[in-house]
Amino acid sequence: MKILVTGGAGFIGSAMIRYLIAQTDTEVVNVDLLTYAGNLESLGEVSGSDRYRFEQVDICDQSALQAVFDAHQPDAVMHLAAESHVDRSIDGPAAFIQTNIVGTYTLLEVARKYWLAMPEHKREVFRFHHISTDEVFGDLTATDEPFTESTRYSPSSPYSASKASSDHLVRAWHRTYGLPVVVSNCSNNYGPFQFPEKLIPLMILNALAGKPLPVYGDGLQVRDWLFVEDHVTALYTVLREGELGETYNIGGQSEKTNLEVVNCVCRSLDELVENKPSGLTTFKELISHVTDRPGHDRRYAVNIEKIAHELSWRPSETFDSGMRKTVSWYLNNLDWCYRILEKSDNTH
């Protein structure tokens, strides 16, 4: 089996590829443009494998994509490439429309033509797995039931609206052209190799530098948190066992307010860091509330009964065990953070 993974140099894509190379005998072709969020250092442990190939290609570039499909002849596509940071989508939505909508459309068209030209025995097993987010459903009140696969789409930010559009395109390519697709919508991920603009790594780096830990508004926005390595096993399960045309919600069954998450980061740091910045007795003293993000959703929560019952997948980490692994990883890999932050500053 050869899988073409888009966005494989990003946070979840790189975890996916590390898993595929270490835990399966799959061959992997990583298609990534290497935007500020993409980093080949995250793939250091697989780069020497003869089952791994990298292609620096923009998913909006149809002829380059076609050449990759022709050269590598994949059996499946896992589509993770995206612009993924909500704050960036508010400051500059154009890149989100381009990559998340036009890029997904371009990939679908290239994959469809490739699939139609495949020999029948290969066409029957081909899969296009679109990886999406629970943010497409909009937000919930404190008492609403968690999102199911049939919850109405109601995206709030340019990011979630662009992901919602891409989900619709993927389903339409299934209904109209019969392209064999599966879709998954996952809650907030955390874990090693996440770009340090996202909540958890940002808090760790700010805390170590003795800088304020900015929490939007009252900090009571609720998210469901999933350790990235659990997400990856769910994705592999959906790819292999998911019903064609179906959607699977993935989540950690771990609803936390942003303030709880930041407090948990501080507790782990208090335990693990011997020399705190001067004058601090606990990292919690650095928490500082800042003006809320416009359109900020209050609560996301995901019902995972479908994937649990139909595909027997459940998360294996608790929030506390996953957070301990995550904070320790960042403390041991600060050089990785500083290098990718420097690289991203130099590309602006």
**Catalytic entry in 19, 159, 190, 236:** 159
Cα separation, 218 vs 223, whole angstroms: 14
Q: Is 338 a catalytic residue?
A: no
Angle subtended at Cα 246 by Cα 115 and Cα 173, rounded to the nearest 5 degrees: 40
147: which strand partners? Answer: 302
Cα separation, 165 vs 95, whole angstroms: 14
**Which of 114/159 has CB closer to ligand NAD?**
159
**Greatest pairwise CA separation for the chain in angstroms:** 69
Tokens of 160: 């979630």
Q: Is 134 a catalytic residue?
A: yes
**Which residues of the chain form contacts with ligand NAD (CB under 6 A)?**
6-7, 9-13, 32-35, 37-38, 58-60, 80-84, 99, 103, 131-133, 163, 186, 188-189, 195
**Which of 36/114 has CB closer to ligand NAD?**
36
**Which of 197/270 has CB closer to ligand NAD?**
197
Cα separation, 142 vs 135, whole angstroms: 16
**Catalytic entry in 134, 167, 255, 297:** 134
Give me the least distance between CB of 340 and ligand NAD, in Å please.
Answer: 10
Put the strands of the sheet holding 255-257 in their side by side order: 188-190, 222-227, 255-257
**Which of 188/268 has CB closer to ligand NAD?**
188
Give me the least distance between CB of 103 and ligand NAD, in Å please.
Answer: 5
Q: Is 159 a catalytic residue?
A: yes
**Which of 12/287 has CB closer to ligand NAD?**
12
Number of residue whose CB is nearest ligand NAD: 10
Give me the least distance between CB of 166 and ligand NAD, in Å please.
Answer: 8
226: which strand partners? Answer: 189
In sequence order, the 6+-apart residues with CB closer than 8 A to the CB of 72 are 2, 4, 29, 53, 55
The packing angle between helices 158-177 and 104-116, to 10°, is 20
Cα separation, 188 vs 205, whole angstroms: 19
Catalytic residues: 134-135, 159
